[in-house]
Amino acid sequence: MNFVAKTFLGLEEVLAQELQNLGAQNIMLERRAVTFSGDLALMYRANLCLRTASRILKTIKVFDAKDADEIYREVKKMNWEDYMSVNQTFLINSTVYSETFKHSQFVAYRVKDAIADFFADKYDNRRPSVRLTNPDVIIDVHISHNTCSISLDSSGESLHKRGYRITQMRAPINEALAAGMLLLAGWNGQFNLIDPMCGSGTLLIEAALIALNIPPGIFRKHFQFEQWKDFDRELFDEIYNDDSFERAFPFKIYGFDIVEKAVEVAQENIRAAGLSRYIELKKASVADFELPQGAAMIVANPPYGERLKSENLEEIYQQLGATLKHRCAGINAWVISSNIDCLQKIGLKPSFKIKLMNGDLPCEYWKFEIFDGKRNDFVASRSRFHHDNDREERKPRFQKNEKIFWKKDDDNARKQENENGRIAERKFEKRGEKKFDRKDRNFEKSDRKFNDRKPPRNFNKPNF
């Protein structure tokens, strides 16, 4: 089976490494996506375990087309009874990067007609209905130049919507981006971690999930593949309840924010995720937050001045720089922002920069290596071997499919792929022995211990 894992600009390499760790084959980088191959079990694991993916598409047909009528004919040739029944509902999502096909909605319309006519010809004019909300089957159409890919969306709601966030401050960072930032920084729970401007607590929670190696999809109530005709409930139950890869985390994650409300919101989300024992929160400014003893890493997402206006924006970055320089010797700090002028106000020279996207905002993610004394002495003290290894690690390790790296941004596609919709509020109690009822869509939890997790699960049976 061939798949496409969608992601966010700048996280393609990280996602490819995640897929390799899951056992995926034939991994290839694309623009905001990674293609790979594997079996049904890998597709289930990808939805459950990938931290930087937004959705997983199962490719079912690829062909070349010169116009919309040819797309109609090719799609109608497919045996759609392999994927859905006449009684089910469906939805078409389309993305177009092409000089030939100008309107993605017209392409979606022709694909919809082809599927409806396929069933109408077989069932005396009966056809499945299109449903814009909660359809049984979501079909993805992607056109690059004249190449058309038809896929089934196995995820449904974007995978960045983990399910643990029950409340939030304004402009919270996307969960998949937060996880990607941490993985880019090399975080795996090997020491303490600090977020001096924690906001809703997203970076803190994602850091804890990585440190404990807990699948981010464990909180979700539904995956789209549960509505598919070939859904293997027994196989997915086995994968969902496999906790053999989870690990201990003997350190702490610390979150600070100068806004009392932010600390309260973060605490509520952390409690909802059942991670309170691993994360400590405190109200403190950037200038006053406390450093733990021992090795640590700092990851920060300060305000950019775009969505959240701040009169003292430059002062915040200057304070962060002063704190890093005078109190954080020996610590690596990573800071993301769309405001490059403010990043420069930190007053320290970054050792590494990565371009990322936070929603529709182009950002840069800077690494600062904090040291005692003069920078020239610090640089001289680093061995040639260290530099060579550093460069080797930054070389691309996965092949890029250059043919479909379309240079022109499609605003509608970008908004779709960087979706950051409101997450429905959900009530969580303490968690440990989970009773996960797919019918009622509720978690029942006792004291949370991830090494004792075997939830019975009931599924709604699709109407075939």
Q: Which of 114-123, 246-255, 285-294, 303-312 has the lowest mean pLDDT?
A: 303-312
Q: Indicate the SS3 state at residue 296.
A: strand
- pLDDT surpasses 70 at 386: no
Identify the pLDDT of residue 171: 67
CA distance 114 to 444: 44
CA distances from 375 to 219, 319, 371 (A): 45, 20, 8
Is it the case that residue 87 has pLDDT exceeding 50? yes
Confidence of residue 334 (pLDDT cuts 50, 70, 90): very high
Q: Give CA–CA dist 221/227, Å, rounded.
A: 13
Predicted pLDDT of residue 103: 84
Cβ atoms of 253 and 208 within 8 Å: the answer is: yes
Q: Where are the domains of the chain?
A: 2-153, 175-215+222-395
* pLDDT over 90, % of the chain: 66
pLDDT value for 311 = 66
Amino acid 446: pLDDT: 36
Q: Looking at per-residue confidence, does 86 or 371 come out higher?
A: 86
Calculate what percentage of the chain has a pLDDT beyond 70: 78
Cα separation, 353 vs 369, whole angstroms: 12
Give the per-residue pLDDT at 382: 56
**pLDDT-derived band of residue 374, with 50, 70 and 90 as boundaries?**
low
Higher pLDDT, 6 or 416: 6
pLDDT at 84: 94
Q: What confidence score (pLDDT) does residue 412 get?
A: 47
Q: Which pLDDT score, from 0 to 100, does residue 307 have?
A: 57
The strands making up 279-283's β-sheet, listed across from edge to edge, are: 279-283, 253-257, 192-195, 296-300, 332-337, 361-369, 352-358
Residue among 401, 462, 397 nearest 62 (CA): 401
CB burial readout 64-83, b (16+ within 10 A) else e: ebeebeebbebbbebebeeb
- 63 vs 70: CA distance, rounded Å: 10
Full-model pTM: 0.82
Give the pLDDT of residue 10.
Answer: 93
Tens-digit pLDDT profile for residues 239-290: 999 999 999 999 999 999 999 999 999 999 999 999 999 999 999 999 888 8
Residues 6+ apart with CB under 8 A from 51: 18, 176, 179, 180, 183, 206, 209, 210, 216
Provide the residue type at 41 as one letter.
A
* Per-residue tokens: 333: 């700090």
Q: What is the pLDDT of residues 195-237, one digit of tens each?
A: 999 989 999 999 999 999 999 999 999 999 999 999 999 999 9
- Alpha helix locations (H) across 279-394? 313-327, 340-344, 375-381, 384-394
Position with higher pLDDT, 21 vs 455: 21
CATH architecture of the domain covering 175-215+222-395: 3-Layer(aba) Sandwich (3.40)
Q: What is the pLDDT of residue 99?
A: 81
CATH architecture of 2-153: 2-Layer Sandwich (3.30)
Strands (E), 126-174: 129-130, 137-144, 147-153
pLDDT tens track for 157-198: 999 999 898 876 676 899 999 999 999 999 999 999 999 999
Which contacts of 24-32 are long-range, i.e. CB under 8 A and separated by 24 or more positions? Answer: 26/2, 27/398, 27/399, 28/398, 28/399, 28/400, 28/401, 29/396, 29/398, 29/399, 29/400, 29/401, 30/4, 30/400, 30/401, 30/404, 30/405, 31/404, 31/405, 31/406, 32/6, 32/7, 32/8, 32/417
- The answer to whether the beta carbons of residues 67 and 100 sit under 8 Å apart is yes
The helix (run of H) or strand (run of E) holding residue 16 is helix 12-22
- Confidence band, pLDDT 50/70/90 cuts, at residue 452: very low
> Which pLDDT does position 450 carry in this prediction?
37
Angle at 189 between CA 186 and CA 190, to 5 degrees: 80
Backbone angles phi, psi at 150, to 5 degrees: -105, 125
* Beta-strand runs (E) in 132-203: 137-144, 147-153, 192-195
Instruction: Look over the chain and give the mean of its residue pLDDT values, rounded to a whole number.
Output: 83
- Strands 435-437, 442-444: pairing is antiparallel
* Confidence category of residue 75, pLDDT binned at 50, 70, 90: very high
Query: What is the rounded average pLDDT of the residues 50-78?
Result: 95
pLDDT at 396: 59
DSSP string, 344-375: HTT-S--SEEEEEEETTEEEEEEEEE--SS-H
In whole angstroms, give the CA distance from residue 3 to residue 149. Answer: 11
C-beta neighbour count of 236 within 10 angstroms: 22
Question: Does residue 330 contact residue 370 with C-beta atoms inside 8 Å?
Answer: yes
pLDDT of 381 higher than 60: no
